[in-house]
Structure 1
Amino acid sequence: MRLTIDTETDTYEQAIAAVQAAYGLRPVVPAGWPEAAAVDPRPDPQDLSSDDIGDGWSDQVLFRMVASLMPGARAVLRRIAGVGGTASYDEVQQYFADHQADPIPPTKIGGTLTSVQAVQRRVGPAGAGRLLQRDERGRLYRIDRTLVEGLTRAFAMADARPDLLRGEPVGRVT
């Protein structure tokens, strides 16, 4: 939630009323205070299309896939989709080795991406081909073009609703 109070134009009463309204309290609105603008509802994964875009995949299924991935695998999948759906092993390794916020050592990329297949078996459409295909001979990662477009929409929803994404695993309690 973001609340902005202009200390030069808003009165103390208006500021208090804005804070109360933000927390769902029913404040007494000061006389002469304009009506608050209508709040846009939060986007929801159900807003995404459930129509098949190829091989049983839909925007909603792709979002569930993205939301279920570990953050590292999600970042790598986003990168591959972001460069058009085809990237070399070396390009992906180098990008994440030098990544400022979330570096992944080159030796760990393959292990990071094993969760993509595991998550697909759990939340992906039955009998669908692999979302992320690996060409060992050409050393390429590839995602079908129609699925790249769906992933772009799924990542946009993920950006709007990060509260729905799987986070880092919690350490074991002994």
Structure 2
Amino acid sequence: MTEGGLVRLTIDTETDTYEQAIAAIQAAYGLRPVPPADWPEARAVEPRPDPQDLSSDDIRDGWSDRTLFQMIASLMPGARAVLRRITEVGGTASYEDVQHYFASHPTAPIPLARIGGTLTSVKAVQRCIGPDGAGPLLQRDERARRYCIDDTLVAGLTRAFAMADARPDLLRGGPAGPAT
């Protein structure tokens, strides 16, 4: 049994026999059957990474790797994809580059005129999740028509997105792979 009474069971249908599968289910529910003599040893389960594994040390203005993960986990999927893209290109991207990247994106297209609206959840989530008194995580320079993220926060966001890739089940909008 795992935490919360849930049972996680993996049966390899190519190598496990029917009897082994039934015995595994019975064992998972505590019925203690006698396992077949030819039952192979169970593989070790890799521990899943957890957001608590991320650092809570202040990176800048109260942001930590953990709060950055909480921020991206709470974003709408479109806003998360845009923030990831800006992070991937080093923290600075022109409005046009971001618009054109997502206009023709194969799995997460965002129409040209909708990028700004897609990003409204960034401010809203930061107000709820972000540290008090911190400047905007994603800054917009209207004159230069550029999105900017502070360099020190780009590194933290990179670590937070790596955790998001490992644990998509923790993200708002359900499991989804990285936007590429």
TM-score normalised by the chain length of structure 1: 0.85
> Is 1:121 the counterpart of 2:138 in the alignment?
no
In the superposition, relative to structure 1, how do residues 24 and 10 fare at CA in structure 2: closer, same or farther (>3 Å)? Answer: closer
AA aligned opposite 2:117: G
Instruction: Report what 1:73 is aligned to.
Output: 79
Instruction: Report 1:11-22 matches (<5 A).
Output: 11-18=17-24, 20=25
Instruction: Report what 1:50 is aligned to.
Output: 56
2: distance between equivalents of 1:150 and 1:67? 14
> Is 1:89 the counterpart of 2:95 in the alignment?
yes
2: distance between equivalents of 1:140 and 1:3? 48
CA apart distance, 1:69: 0.6
- The number of aligned residues is 165
CA apart distance, 1:144: 1.1
Instruction: Report what 1:131 is aligned to.
Output: 137
In the superposition, relative to structure 1, how do residues 24 and 83 fare at CA in structure 2: closer, same or farther (>3 Å)? Answer: farther
Identity level (%): 72
Instruction: Report what 1:154 is aligned to.
Output: 160
AA aligned opposite 2:144: G
Superposed CA deviations along residues 134-172 of structure 1, whole A, max 9, x for unmatched, are: 11111111111111111111111112222211118xxxx
2: distance between equivalents of 1:109 and 1:15? 49
Superposed CA deviations along residues 59-82 of structure 1, whole A, max 9, x for unmatched, are: 110011001111110000000001
User: Which runs of no fewer than 5 residues in structure 2 stay unpaired?
Assistant: 1-7, 175-180
Match of 1:5 among 6, 12, 17: 12
User: Which runs of no fewer than 5 residues in structure 1 stay unpaired?
Assistant: 169-174
CA apart distance, 1:2: 8.6
Superposed CA deviations along residues 69-102 of structure 1, whole A, max 9, x for unmatched, are: 1111000000000111111100000001001111
CA RMSD of superposed structures (Å): 2.1
AA aligned opposite 2:69: F
1: distance between equivalents of 2:163 and 2:22? 33
TM-score normalised by the chain length of structure 2: 0.82
Match of 1:145 among 142, 151, 159: 151
In the superposition, relative to structure 1, how do residues 25 and 45 fare at CA in structure 2: closer, same or farther (>3 Å)? Answer: same
CA apart distance, 1:41: 2.3
Match of 2:39 among 30, 33, 42: 33
AA aligned opposite 1:112: T
CA apart distance, 1:25: 3.2
